[in-house]
Amino acid sequence: MSDTRYLPVPDALAGERADAALSRMLGLSRTKAADVLAGGGVMQDGRVLGKSDRVADGILIVDLPDEREPAPEPEIPGGLTLLYEDDDLAVVDKPIGVAAHPSPGWTGPTVVGALASAGVTLASSGAAERQGIVHRLDVGTSGLMVVAKSDIAYTHLKRAFKERTVEKVYHAVAQGHLDPTAGTIDAPIGRHPGSDWKFAVIQDGRPSITHYEVLEMFPSASLLEIHLETGRTHQIRVHMSAMRHPLAGDATYGADPTLAKRLGLTRQWLHAREPGVRASHA
């Protein structure tokens, strides 16, 4: 008998060794993950994976023995840094490989779990697994997140994000050289017509606006500062890909794997620098 699971590969783990990815996705020890792989228990796209094979974007089919070791508590890679805290909110620096909150198919570390382990009490508003979370960053995106500790802060922060009175600033590395070097991308985003996990610029999508400016140019890439006027899922990644300048390392949205390898990237180069709420909004 076995326990069969169908696990979507998070963007941050696409391209990782199978034993490392399985360890992170299921909270198993690296040795246990290697044992599952050695027993032929992991398949992707009809192919049985070995421990040194690389996982791709898509679904892993994993057969786990019924009698397996209890999964250890996941550790947050690099640690979750608490930059600010008062009675109402906390600001954390989220590393890559950490999700904002638990979700189906993800058993790795989360911001919610890390804060709970550190004894930080979060707002009780919202779904149980998302308490305190007023906005999210992708697993493969690093940077600053604001988390609500009180219910009144949760209400005000959720309203601020909904009404776009939040200044969201990112730094990103995009492939190639953008022309013009500053501009606005105003293109609606919705579910990709050929994928349940991706998004795309589509005619009947939700309004999505991204402002960008090139800070520095390199031989094959550009460092950008990006301001979001809206906050759609994968917005920066989708908009830059639509401009034919995908983020370096972002294999999901068409990045050149040669450049990613040269830069040592296994995920999109995207960092949230400022999730600040404006004092007033005209």
Q: Which of 19, 57, 138, 250 is catalytic?
A: 138
Residue 71 domain-assigned (yes or no): no
Residues 123 and 207 in one domain: no
Residues 181 and 258 in one domain: yes
| Cβ-based neighbours of 131, under 8 Å, separated by 6 or more | 112, 122, 123, 124, 125
Residues 114 and 140 in one domain: yes
Total domains in the chain come to: 3
Residues 219 and 131 in one domain: no
Residues 175 and 155 in one domain: no
Domain end (from 131, 162, 193): 162
| Cβ-based neighbours of 46, under 8 Å, separated by 6 or more | none
Residue 73 domain-assigned (yes or no): no
Residues 42 and 145 in one domain: no
| Gap between the Cα atoms of 132 and 228, Å rounded | 22
Residues 149 and 126 in one domain: yes
Per-residue pLDDT of the chain (282 residues; tens, 9 = 90+): 457 888 888 888 889 999 888 888 888 887 888 888 988 889 998 899 998 899 998 889 998 876 544 444 444 544 788 888 999 999 999 998 899 998 877 878 899 988 988 888 999 887 778 889 999 898 899 999 999 999 999 999 999 988 888 888 999 999 999 999 999 999 999 999 988 889 999 999 999 999 999 999 999 999 999 999 998 999 999 999 999 999 999 999 999 999 999 888 888 999 999 765 443 333
**Any idea what the CATH number is for the domain that residue 170 is in?**
3.30.2350.10
Catalytic status, residue 93: no
DSSP states along 33-55: HHHHHHTT-EEETTEEPPTTSBP
Range of the domain at 137: 81-162
Query: Which 3 state secondary structure label does DSSP give 240?
Result: helix
Residue 214 domain-assigned (yes or no): yes
Domain end (from 134, 162, 190): 162
Give which of 50, 275, 73 is closest to 165, Cα–Cα. 275
**Any idea what the CATH number is for the domain that residue 18 is in?**
3.10.290.10
Residues 12 and 88 in one domain: no
Domain end (from 142, 162, 182): 162
Residue 70 domain-assigned (yes or no): no
Residues 145 and 112 in one domain: yes
**Residue 242 burial class via C-beta count within 10 angstroms: exposed 0-12, middle 13-18, buried 19 and up:** middle
pTM of the prediction? 0.68
Residue 270 domain-assigned (yes or no): yes
Residue 86 domain-assigned (yes or no): yes
Q: Does residue 129 come out as left (phi exceeding 0), alpha (psi in the -120 to 50 range) or beta?
A: alpha
Residue with tokens 């590393």: 95
Residue 110 domain-assigned (yes or no): yes
